[in-house]
Amino acid sequence: MKAAAASIDAYLADLPVAQRTALEVLRRQLLAAAPGAEECISYGLPTFKLNGNLVHFGAAARHCAFYPGAVVDRFAARLAGFETSKGTIRFQPEKPLPPDLVREIVEHCVARNAEIAAGRAARKRK
């Protein structure tokens, strides 16, 4: 079994050019939408953390994927044309996700994580 990459750069370096290019673009979009997020590898995938896991992304044999969690249903109408499941959006490198949609999804995830973190903090104060 192949060892997990130690960094996002190492993960991307092992990909075919088309997938690497598409995911590098997605990575820049994620950084722009969540500038305070920390980049790391979690669950073997490139991950952005902000008040917990924010989003993941990665590549499979036949597609790229964006994993924002259980928010996919909220954006279902705008994801028509992309293969989705509960927390996954799959796309082809030549047909990436629209940048404005990526931004809105990430902003929603940032707000969700902030709300969860605020709730945890309030419970600790009690």
Phi and psi at 46, nearest 5°, equal: -60, 130
Domains in the chain, CATH or no CATH each: 8-125 (3.90.1150.200)
Residue 1 — very low, low, confident or very high, per pLDDT cuts 50/70/90? Answer: very low
Q: Are 96 and 23 in contact (CB under 8 A)?
A: no
Which pTM value belongs to this model? Answer: 0.92
Closest CA to 57 of 72, 69, 45, 49: 45
- Residue 120 predicted with pLDDT over 90: no
C-alpha–C-alpha distance, residues 38 and 115, integer Å: 18
List pLDDT tens digits, range 32-87.
999 999 999 999 999 999 999 999 999 999 999 999 999 999 999 999 999 999 99
